[in-house]
Structure 1
Amino acid sequence: MDKGRWKTVNTVRSVLFVCRTIQSTARLLFDVMPLLVEDSRIQVLFTVDESSAFGDGVPRLLDHEQVKLIPWSVATGGRFDCDVTVSASANRSLALLPGRKLVMAHGAGAHKYRVSVDGTEEAVSSLSPKQLMVGDELLPSTITLAGPDQLQRLADSCPAAVPAAEVVGDVCAERMELSLPHRARYRHHLGVAPEQRLIVLSSTWGPDSLLSRDPTLSTRLLSRLPANEYQLAFVLNPNGWDKHSRPNVHGWQETAIRAGMRMIPPHEGWRATVVASDLAIVDHGSVGFYAAHLGRPLLFGTFSDSEVPVNSPMARLAAAAPFIDPDTDLVSQIESACRNHDPGRYRTITESALDPTGSAGERMRAVLYRLLDLDPMSTAYPPRPLPLPDVDHSPATACHVYPVVSDGVPTMIKFPITTTHAARGRPYRDRILVVDAAEPDEHQRHSASVITWTESGLSVREASHWIDEQLTSYPGTSVFAARLLDERIMVRSRGHGRFLIGSDSRLDIAVVAAAARQILLETDSLTSLTLRDGRRIIDLNIKGLVD
């Protein structure tokens, strides 16, 4: 370390965070570093251990966060000095680094067997002697554990490490619980309406993951779940992103993405998305465990007994939760899981892995300051709620709207168009193809009954001009609709003229335009009416315009 000559702030302690994978790096960046970084006595530094098979994306993440990066060759060269080294991934390479060493978990406790070069090792990852010991020497000075279950399993697998272990809780789980009051903000940011259900589809990495075993589940869900009642978000373990890259992951899910599925990037957004969710479809990854801890209903899409220790909290969770039945309607299974769920159903299981005492951030901070031999700041802040989630999302640009009457109320049921899994067996006689101006498939636009403009709102004059152009360009289309600057919708029907439609509620232009077409077909007139859009009832104020 430099001796102070080049410093602007005279720090007296240094912490080196060791990054091996995106997942472990994210824990250090977003959960642990904030516990220290406000203290001007402490300098936080990072280095990248390139020995992991899933570390390609780590330098990009660190560069994005603009941290101070120490090259691995310098950190392990013998002349570099720091007071504490922190890793969220237990590994023997810690022996090469200076300072007192702290090892913490990077998932919901430790619930997977360690994957070694020669296959799956019968030792729990992060609790294995091969990760914590070199000969008779214990590498970490302190091992922080998320819950009492891990302490018992550490005693079974590596008794020599128990004196260094301390149950402090899980900062990730604490921040997710602290963020529950922000759920409405997260849902709004994700584009999920209050009356809609957000389904999180979560996959870990590897050949036994949900993505590997059932790669078209996302498309099947979208083809069966009404889009005005449900939204879908996909969360993939960072190792999956790192091994295959964003273009491949997005490409493999392109059909679902075109149908409106939200893709959650691998760094920070998954946690707020789980907070925002109504149900999670999961495998043996940590996301499902955190969702259960928050009281969300679960459906397991798959589970790998070979990767998860028997009688571990994850194994007990899978035994307690329902699995998707491939022979039963998906929608009815999801509705039943939501309707019959008790939010406290899995709490006893999850609290064995995620200590329920609370104050995980405060306890983790106390451990760090003890290792640094410093008194904590008297003004230390509690962990922050989660930020708004990162999300990649484009609305579906083609959909079928099915007009029905339910309890005497005109009802519109909307499904995105998916090319590989058509909507089959729906008990609706008629359907209306609604295609947006942004739809790239020219054949879809020429086949549409309704064409919409949903991008930035237009003035009345701009909307009229656009509609006049479309009347000529698409002679087979009967209705055109454009969203205006004031959120009203201009509708033009061949043979019926123009209408302005407004409401006190946010309007789905595809639903409103399809309803206008259907009502004009049946009654030849369009007046103010009450309409059911998914689970909500909306009143439409309709005004005819003179052409």
Structure 2
Amino acid sequence: MREDRRLPLPISADRGRWATVRPARTVLGVVHNITSATRLLDLLSAFEGDERVQVVFSCTGSSALDSGVTEFFAERGMVHVPWPEARDSREFDLAIATSRGGDLHRLRTPLVSTPHGAGYNKKLARNRKPETGNRKPETGNRKPETGAFGLTEEWLVHDGKVIPSAVVLSHSEQLDRLAESCPQALPAAVVAGDPVIDQLRTALPFRERYRRAFGLEPGQRLVVVSSTWGPGSILGSPSRDVILRALAELPADEFRVLVTAHPGAYYAHSPWQWHHWLAPMLDSGLLLPAPETETWKAALCAADFLIGDHGSVTLYGHTLGIPCVLGAFDRATAAPDSPMHHLGEQLPRLRRGTPLARQLAEAEAQAQDLTYDAITSRPGEAAGLLRELFYFWLDLPEPEQPAVTRAIPVPPGPPARRALPHLPARYVTADVRVSEGGAELTLRRYPAAHQRTQGAHLASAHLAADVDDPDQRLPRTADVLLVPLDRHPDARTYAARFPHHDLLAYEEPGHGCLAVPLNSSSLHARWVRHPPWADFGVAASVVHTLLPHTGEARLVRVRAGEHQDVGVLELRPA
């Protein structure tokens, strides 16, 4: 029986006989969880196109948030080596790790250690006892948890010896913190910048392409809600209310809301569970992309606003200049004097009792005065510096072509949501200016499912609902009843079922409607100019708003919010 029977071909003893390509070097990618895996893939782009280098992967099994890693490997066709075999193998020329957990000191190869987020910002103590006889107690009075995860002796030193051969830093300010928390690691420190912020900045010229991929219409604004893991995050209870508030308070035609979830939170509870918990919000248009893809990067490039917490995405977004508000922030996890600590002191906090739209506008006005860039001190250089470092430890000449920042892929489309058979119920507000022969309206629509109370943003709103909405409380209390084109029974049927409505609207071809008011003559509403948002529900709400003025109004200029294109609706007697 072969001793290496569990090893895949690239590192097996008989690879010389069976392998199609015979690389000169083999790199071990050390994964702790999906978060570290996605960052590792950013780093491994240094080897793209170089068949001299074979990469295989292993998971240390040391993270409590490592759910989904096996599936991550399988879905991408990555060569996976069990950790005990990878750790003890002499077949590797270099190991690259984006976290610090596990018994990395047992690797038999040089180790390059990098951060797995925007630098070193969080405090994290080991959650397991050190192996007997392997670790010396900490010296002096310094407690390891007071420094940043990844920069202290607790994570960098074993038995008096620095574990990594190279400790990658993204910013020179981290040298000072490393000198304070683990001075013996300073000779191994390399300031190599941050590949992700370089990617994001390089991708900004393609902002409109990313926006189209998310299904954003002209004039719509994208609010990204970013959550890290843990009870102090936005996704942690009770702060998940931030997402509900964004959907409830922001007009649906003017804003889209997208959540970037930390992989540790997303996979610990399972993707199914999050879609189950957030199902009502997803039905109202919430976007929830899978976090192990690069969609979150594209979302930042497309974003107009960011509601964040103490996760790295907030730091990236703020560095890009996106107007930011903190929906949650766990001070206890932010390392002292770290960029995240300073960001928590600088950014405004989401306030109750103040309209969210007003707070986002305030953040937009203040954004230029709150610039703070502590992610990288080598902007635009990470690709070249990291490749130089890796090839130095591999003892290989670098490829002839220059190292370039890798492009952020355009998402294939907005995350799929359930296609519901009924129209969503919405509260609608209107600002009206009526003149002789015409009128101008600005409508704003809000998902009715998430309105806990009649808030200030719903003053003078009317409710429009599908006559067959499964939640029959909505059409029973609706002012405007909507009957889609495929459902046209006798009007008297609906009048009997819902005696309290003001207007019954039947969809007509071209997204217009036949409007049947309860106490006045029927009208045809036809779109003469038809922007993407101009559906028959909007036409019905226009007629309802203008019922006191229908004698004067013939052509109506309509906006679905301040930033939307103008639609023109013609009203004529039925």
Q: TM-score, normalised by structure 2?
A: 0.83
Aligned position for 2:505:
479
Q: Does 1:335 align with 2:347?
A: no
Q: CA deviation at 1:478?
A: 0.8
Deviations 1:482-502 (A, max 9, x none): 6x6xxx424233464755425
2:210 to 186, 199, 202: 186
**Unmatched 5+ stretches in structure 1:** 454-462
Deviations 1:238-259 (A, max 9, x none): 1111222223323333343333
Q: Does 1:127 align with 2:139?
A: no
- Is contact 1:198-1:230 (8 Å) kept? yes
Aligned equivalents of 2:19, 2:453: Cα separation in 1: 63
Aligned position for 2:482:
451
Q: How does 1:232-381 map to 2 (within 5 A)?
A: 232-267=257-292, 268-342=294-368, 345-347=370-372, 350=373, 352-380=374-402
Aligned position for 1:457:
none
1:383 to 400, 405, 410: 405
Q: Secondary structure at the match of 1:507?
A: coil
Q: CA deviation at 1:199?
A: 1.6
1:446 to 1:67, Cα distance in 2 relative to 1, 3 A: farther
Q: How does 1:97-108 map to 2 (within 5 A)?
A: 97-108=107-118
Moved more, 385-394 or 206-215: 385-394
2:471 to 397, 418, 441: 441
Amino acid in structure 1 at the alignment position of 2:83: W
Q: CA deviation at 1:90?
A: 1.6
Aligned equivalents of 2:224, 2:16: Cα separation in 1: 49
Q: Secondary structure at the match of 2:482?
A: strand
1:160 to 1:419, Cα distance in 2 relative to 1, 3 A: same
Aligned position for 2:139:
none
Deviations 1:187-244 (A, max 9, x none): 2222223322222222221122233242212212222222222222122221111222
1:452 to 1:537, Cα distance in 2 relative to 1, 3 A: farther
Aligned equivalents of 1:446, 1:302: Cα separation in 2: 38
1:247 to 1:473, Cα distance in 2 relative to 1, 3 A: farther
Q: Percent identity?
A: 27
- Is contact 2:217-2:532 (8 Å) kept? no
Q: Does 1:27 align with 2:49?
A: no
Aligned equivalents of 1:452, 1:5: Cα separation in 2: 71
- Is contact 1:223-1:423 (8 Å) kept? no
2:511 to 481, 489, 511: 489
1:74 to 1:468, Cα distance in 2 relative to 1, 3 A: same
- Is contact 1:91-1:132 (8 Å) kept? no
1:423 to 1:276, Cα distance in 2 relative to 1, 3 A: farther
- Is contact 2:525-2:539 (8 Å) kept? no
1:225 to 208, 227, 250: 250
Aligned equivalents of 2:490, 2:476: Cα separation in 1: 11
Aligned position for 1:153:
177
Q: How does 1:368-447 map to 2 (within 5 A)?
A: 368-380=390-402, 382-389=404-411, 391-393=415-417, 397-405=424-432, 409-419=440-450, 421-426=452-457, 428-435=459-466, 440-444=470-474
| Paired positions, count | 524
How big is the alpha-carbon RMSD for the aligned residues of Structure 1 and Structure 2? 2.9
Aligned position for 2:138:
none
Q: CA deviation at 1:412?
A: 0.8
Q: Which entry has the higher C-alpha Rg, 1 or 2?
A: 2
**Unmatched 5+ stretches in structure 2:** 1-10, 130-143
Aligned equivalents of 1:194, 1:147: Cα separation in 2: 38
Deviations 1:45-97 (A, max 9, x none): 1111112101011111221111111222321344x511111110023522233
Deviations 1:267-321 (A, max 9, x none): 1221211221112112211111001110011112232222112222111122222
Deviations 1:369-406 (A, max 9, x none): 11111112122552222123463546882211223315
Moved more, 501-510 or 56-65: 501-510
